[in-house]
Amino acid sequence: MMELYNTILYQPLLNATVFLYNFIPGSDFGLAIITLTILIRVIMFPLTLKTAKSQRAMAKINPSLKAIKEKFKNDSQAQSAAIMNLYKENNVNPLSGCLPLIIQLPILIALYKAFGAGFKPESLDLLYGFIGNPGTINTISLGFLNIGSKNAVLAVLTGVFQFLQLRQNNATMAAVSSDGNKEMQAMNKQMLYFFPVMIIIIGWNLPAGLLLYWVTTTLFSMGEQVYIQRRHGD
């Protein structure tokens, strides 16, 4: 299974990264990471849009869903029938938001793995015959950033951008949800502060190149959210 994963996802993404590294003037691996991250996120945008629409639809019917569960709390069969009818009336598929995430996750993991492997000379043995082997990867990006070493400033920035993205996402979901689910709001508030701190702690010991990927995909996600809100929001 792992060999199949490497053949289908990891190796092609590694080759794509090195191809961009060879193609970009100055052989800048940091710019190769940023470019490939954006390209992959653009390709996956239809899946992201589908997930966002599904989440919005589920948030809107959540009050009705809670009312049904309360009304039929002692009759599971009637409750299930009423819930399915609610989904049908609102044209909502509760599983439609899960599939895009399931598809995206292994791709993003492989992308992350490919960027990390790019710093290791032995990984270049996995290059296809038509991809030029640079021999070694220049770890200096943008003329000043060593993407092969730890970078505390970039780790903190990664956490800050993650905080901003979570706050943006929480505000969006609160706007489309008509019920005041205090438990969910409390959990989102905890995650708002806990998750960025964890990212800073983890990122503190990661190469700056991987943090560059993390920052890029976070900023892209924020831009996606703005676009979806303006063009596809109700």
Q: pLDDT value at position 98?
A: 62
What is residue 153's predicted lDDT score, i.e. its pLDDT? Answer: 93
- Asked whether the predicted pLDDT for residue 62 surpasses 60, the reply is yes
Q: Which of 199, 232, 229 is nearest to 214 (CA)?
A: 199
What mean pLDDT value characterizes the chain?
Answer: 81
Beta strands per DSSP E along 13-148: 140-141, 145-146
Using DSSP, how many helices (H) and how many strands (E) does the chain show? 9, 2
* Per-residue pLDDT at 186 exceeds 70: no
Strand partners of residue 145: 141
Average pLDDT of span 216-233? 85
* pTM recorded for the entire structure: 0.79
Would you place residue 104 in the very low, low, confident or very high pLDDT band (cuts 50, 70, 90)? low
How crowded is the C-beta side of 204, counted as CA atoms within 13 Å? 6
Query: What's the confidence (pLDDT) of residue 139?
Result: 85
- Among 150-154, 187-191, 205-209, the range scoring the smallest mean pLDDT is 187-191
Domain ranges of the chain: 2-232
pLDDT tens, position by position, 79-103: 888 888 888 877 777 666 566 566 6
Q: Of all residues in the chain, what percent carry a pLDDT higher than 70?
A: 85
